[in-house]
A and B are shown apart, each in its own frame.
Chain A
Amino acid sequence: MIKYLRLSFLSLSLIALFISCSDSPTSVGENLIPDQDKIKFSEYDSFLESAPQQSYTYQEKLKYGSSEKVLLGKTSLGESYIVYKFFIYMPDSLLTKLANNELTVTSAKMEMKSTYKLGATGAPFDYSVHQIRKAWTEDGFDKDTLKTFLETSQYDLSDVSSNRVIAQNDSLLKFDLSTQVVTDWLKAKKDSNFTRNYGLLFKPKAGTNRFFGFDAVYTDGTSTNILLKIKYKWGTSTVYNDSINVAPFWDVHALLGAKPISENHIYLQGSIGVRSVLSFDFSKLPKNIILNKATLELTVDDNPAQTSDGTPASDSITVQTLKDSIAKELTSDSLYFAYLKRTGNIYSGDIAWMVQKWIKGDANQGIILALPDENYSASRIAIYNSKVTDKALRPRLKLIYTIK
């Protein structure tokens, strides 16, 4: 009997496995699906529903060490400083000649190619360059670090730059660095009595009304956008000339400015960490729905007194979900951003997965709006807030959802 059982099941299994053929599914029978079992699409518009919403602006202290650009300049938005540190390599034989005053630094010219601007072309712009007198690191560098630099005189007050010009169609900053500064840095490698190379502080001068931004350098020193070009000579009977180009090894900037305040706006501003929080009340929304789309729209107040954008423009906004709106703690999945893209004076984008989480039951603590380039732009974007009288200008959330 057991033999028969085995045989029968093996043969029947094989038959059952292989005998199956069907047309692709079609709509035949769709009429028999009751309406209540069919999927329906519905729309929810926070504007039309007059859904309660809240929004406000706050300021986050930024760490500038990982910024992709460094900014220099000053406007009504604030003022931005740059600190650079250079590691200059010179063969030991030449350093010995320098120590014996047999080698002379003949020139030191700094060239900085701009990759970001904010402010009108031709607007006043000037700066001074100072030697830093104390060791620093870009790790953890923030506005308080800069304030300490400025308030405790950790830099030399004398300006070591000269012949500052803006060349190449307003895109290249050039100046002459005091050759004595470079000479001292090189001599300090052999003799501790000379001023050590702690880098340079770039300060915007009073009257400046624009920002320039420069690509931040990589730690391998391969940047060609920011270069210190040093020329030197040695020899008595025969004079030898040579040069070295040095890119900054460390760089960081910090912008000092205040959070803007307005009755009708929330703000996003780069380099001073101005962000905003926005939340909607979804209590009128049906439960157990599946979102097909959730479009968040934010309207920009383009008045130049409110919004000031740079080039490249801050044309997108990042959205992250909050776990705790008081502590501004983000949810564990906030490594994933939603992006709002700007078209005209509207930033819009799909935040369906965030809203879906709230519908599922996650605590709705709102979302944080920020500029993705907030570490390296000086842009200020003014967005009409949840209290502006014209409700059509308020943040608007349009949901398309599936319900069954």
Chain B
Amino acid sequence: MRNKILLLIVCLTQSVLFASGGSIYTRLGLGELNYNFSARRFGLGELGYALSDREFLSYANPASWNQIGLTKFETGIMINSVTQSSSSTSVFNSNSYYTGLVVGFPISRENGISFAGGIVPYSNVGYDLIADEKSTLVDSHKTSYKGDGGIFKIFFGTSYRLPFDFSLGASFDYYNGKINNTTSVAFEDSSDFRDATFKREFSYHGIGATLGLISSDLSKLFGESDFKDFRIGLSFSPQVNLSSDSTNTFTSLIGDYEYNSGVTKTKLPYRLGVGASFKLTDNYLFVLDYLHQPMSELSWGGIKTTQMQDISKYSFGVEYRPSYNSTGFWKQVMLRGGASYENTPYVFNGTSVNQLSVYAGLSLPLDFERAGFTNTIDIGFQYGRRGTTDNNLIQENIYKFYITINFGELWFIPTER
């Protein structure tokens, strides 16, 4: 029964992992990249490479699993709303999709050995625009540009606590997914011109890995009693060579016809994340992170695009936790806030598309009669401003709302009697 439910979950998740309709920027590269999946991480500015959690899961740094206390399960949805504005008009899109699921369980708490795995979106493509166009050769018509799909990542890995309280983690990552770009011309019913549709589908799959390291508590070096649990984290995902099956199809008045299909290699550049976290008293947690991914090196069959640039993302987050050992609802509500600045992977006509975001979030305990967290509902909100209307670009106001459900249960560790 348990296996059947998990299988159903995987199937459901794969089918709705990607949204359609949204930012035209996702047309470029592999779409909009995801850096994390849980509402807690979003509330802290999306990253959190130096965090080791007992109560929460993340896939950004496999070393973070070293403190998992219970078998944990996290899943959630994201409501993604974007207002896109040009210099003259604007359009609003909103949709929702699963942010994936992650399961982790401890094997040896003493040695920080835990296993975790899950399925999460790596990138999303979703745009839909229609333009009235005119040509002297044909009747008036509408041209539509649509894109959907994305790449998801299935991962599983382990963590291990090294001597001197350093933690190490590694995960095996399998990338898979499809990205469709469709361009169609539609004439009015009264026209005797025939419609035309070109569709390009890329199917990606490839194997990668992620290595992570989290330092021991370095706060003692500073000698401040309220400055606690200062750790530095590092995560590195080497370059992945994705196998890309491309299929080009056109739809004419005689139906669909496949042409120019082939297989090529897509070079997905490495991703490096560095972060630091510390606490002021026991109640305030601070995180600082930096992510770098040289997406200008993204290439298909060795060919790069001039519309991609390197990603640099800087983020900051703070979390307030009233108490670790108290019972009661309000004593266990956690509040978060954060901000980030990012050079997105997109560049047009020499104009870089950058994004500034602010975040907020909270965790609501589900079993607040007990001290410590096992089950929570986490909520995160992101407001971001991306791009500019200069140089005929698009400025986007991004509103993302995350809900994550986080359950914990004792599965494999025998309880002491």
Contacts and interface: CB of A to CB of B under 8 A. Distances in A.
Nearest to A357: B254
A290 B185 CA distance: 10
A31 B135 CA distance: 17
Interface in A12-60: 12-13, 15-16, 19-34, 37-39, 41-43
B195 to A, nearest CB: 8
Contact of B16 (A5, A16, A21, A360): A16
A311 interface: no
Interface string A387-404: 000000000000010101
Nearest to A1: B409
Nearest to A7: B405
B129 A288 contact: no
B222 interface: no
A252 B179 CA distance: 63
Contact of B73 (A1, A29, A360, A404): A1
B138 A400 contact: yes
Given A16-B16, A26-B129, A352 B253 contact: yes
Interface in B16-58: 16, 21, 24-25, 27
B91 A356 contact: no
B9 A350 contact: no
A6 interface: yes
A4 B135 CA distance: 58
Interface string B234-249: 0000000000000010
Contact of B94 (A6, A20, A31, A33): A20
A352 B85 CA distance: 40
Contacts of A34: 307
Contacts of A291: 194, 252-253
B250 A290 contact: yes
A39 B185 contact: yes
Contacts of A31: 86, 392-394
Nearest to A9: B9
Interface in B129-158: 129-132, 135, 137-138, 143-145
A16 B77 contact: yes
Given A1-B409, A12-B76, A15-B403, A29 B196 contact: no
B128 interface: yes
B192 interface: yes
A245 B193 CA distance: 53
A185 to B, nearest CB: 56
Interface in B226-268: 248, 250-254, 257, 259-260
A345 interface: no
Contacts of A19: 79, 94-96
A292 interface: yes
A5 B3 CA distance: 12
B183 interface: yes
A5 B98 contact: no
Interface in A341-379: 350, 352-353, 356-357, 360
Contacts of A2: 1-2, 5
A20 B196 contact: no
Interface residues of B, number: 73
Interface in B306-320: 307
B96 A39 contact: no
Interface in A242-296: 287-288, 290-293
Contact of B193 (A6, A21, A292): A292
A258 to B, nearest CB: 39
B375 interface: yes
B77 to A, nearest CB: 5
Contact of B5 (A6, A15, A21, A292): A6
B12 A9 contact: yes
A5 B393 contact: no
B411 A1 contact: yes
B204 interface: no
Given A5-B5, A39-B183, A20 B96 contact: yes
B77 A28 contact: no
Given A15-B77, A27-B132, A4 B407 contact: yes
A134 to B, nearest CB: 50
B247 to A, nearest CB: 13
A8 interface: yes
A211 B307 CA distance: 74
A30 B88 CA distance: 12
Contact of A29 (B97, B143, B198, B394): B394
B144 A25 contact: yes
Given A25-B129, A25-B144, A41 B198 contact: no
A9 B185 CA distance: 39
Given A1-B407, A350-B192, A360-B257, A288 B185 contact: no
Contact of B96 (A15, A287, A404): A15
Contact of A12 (B187, B193, B257, B405): B405
B75 A28 contact: no
A5 B77 contact: no
Nearest to A26: B91
Contacts of B135: 41
Given A1-B409, A12-B76, A25 B128 contact: yes
Interface in A127-149: none
B196 A32 contact: no
23 contacts: A4-B407, A5-B73, A12-B75, A12-B98, A12-B403, A16-B97, A19-B95, A19-B96, A24-B130, A27-B89, A28-B84, A28-B91, A28-B129, A32-B392, A37-B181, A38-B183, A39-B185, A39-B196, A292-B138, A292-B195, A293-B193, A352-B194, A402-B198
Given A19-B94, A28-B86, A356-B252, 8 more contacts: A25-B21, A25-B130, A27-B89, A28-B91, A32-B392, A34-B307, A353-B253, A404-B183
Interface of B: 1-2, 5-6, 9, 12, 16, 21, 24-25, 27, 71, 73, 75-77, 79, 84-86, 89-98, 127-132, 135, 137-138, 143-145, 181, 183, 185, 187, 192-198, 248, 250-254, 257, 259-260, 307, 348, 375, 392-394, 403, 405, 407, 409, 411
The 8 closest A-B pairs by CB, nearest first: A29-B24, A290-B196, A27-B131, A31-B392, A402-B196, A8-B405, A22-B93, A19-B96
